[in-house]
Amino acid sequence: MHEAVKRALAEDIGSGDITSTLCIGAEVMAEGRFFARQPMVLAGSSLLAEVYAARGGVERLYVRATDGQLMQPGDEIAFVRGRARTLLECERVSLNFMQRLSGVATLARQFTDAVAGTGCRILDTRKTTPGLRELEKSAAAAGGATNHRMGLFDAVLIKNNHITAAGGIRAALDRCKDATVRVEIEVRTWAELEEALACGAKHLLIDNLTPAEAAVWVKHVAGRATTEISGGVTLATVRDYAQAGADFISVGAITHSAVAVDINFRLAWQ
């Protein structure tokens, strides 16, 4: 978080905020408020303290809402008082983080709400903005999604290219038999499904099936392994997939296609 904020401020402010320096006296004080301008699930509010601490000149910061909280238009997110120049030079970075991350949280909530009552859990993926994965996965969790692996280092996920390079399903699974982390394998055909089950696979990634096809596959697995559905899942279809009986549905769109929400910052001179 610290490095992400540092990079963002350096990118935006550079050698200095020319406009604020020319227009506003150095000691002019101001108050600012962040407001939601649409229904949304908040995320990224904890970054405000980091942003202002990096620039200094802030006397008070009150964050009125917490990540994961449902906000309505007009709801106040945070109040800040400090030097006007500081508030203005931090405005865009603060908004960019909260708008982007709240967009992720809001979309995650829409997917989790869509499968409510089915027993299926929504997973995020590694399809994140480079350098912002931890923040975006935190936002997905704030929206109710379950974090999948953080990276290539904390779980085994044998996908089609790994299977090809290893020489097949059995060869790939055999080479992972002593892994100390979860091992999951992708199956794309009925033959691969049967082979993976015969090899004792306990976590299956079922990719690019229709909801009806997925229901047949999950019924055939019959609890011998946990099942995760992936590939082309949308808000319109996610409940159908969940009702197919899968344990998990992974949705890359939560992070790669979330639309930033509308948050406003209003300044008042003191």
- Residue 174 token pair: 């055999």
* Marked catalytic residue, from 134, 195, 207, 240: 207
Is 207 among the residues known to form the active site? yes
- Cβ contact 95:222 at 8 Å: no
* Marked catalytic residue, from 37, 121, 126, 127: 127
263-269/29-36 β-pairing: antiparallel
Is 136 among the residues known to form the active site? no
Rounded-to-integer distance, Cα 156 and Cα 184, Å: 6
Is 192 among the residues known to form the active site? no
Rounded-to-integer distance, Cα 195 and Cα 92, Å: 53
* Marked catalytic residue, from 92, 170, 175, 188: 92
Is 186 among the residues known to form the active site? yes
Is 159 among the residues known to form the active site? yes
Residue-by-residue DSSP string for the chain: -HHHHHHHHHHHHTT--HHHHHHS-TT-EEEEEEEE-SSEE---TTHHHHHHHHH--EEEEEE-S-TT-EE-TT-EEEEEEEEHHHHHHHHHHHHHHHHHHHHHHHHHHHHHHHTTTSS-EEE--S---TT-HHHHHHHHHHTTPBP--SSTTS-EEE-HHHHHHHTSHHHHHHHTTT-SS-EEEEE-SHHHHHHHHHTT--EEEEES--HHHHHHHHHHHTTSSEEEEESS--TTTHHHHHHTT-SEEE-THHHHSPPPP-EEEEEEE-
* Marked catalytic residue, from 67, 136, 186, 192: 186
* Marked catalytic residue, from 64, 126, 159, 170: 159
Could you list the active site residues? 92, 127, 159, 186, 207
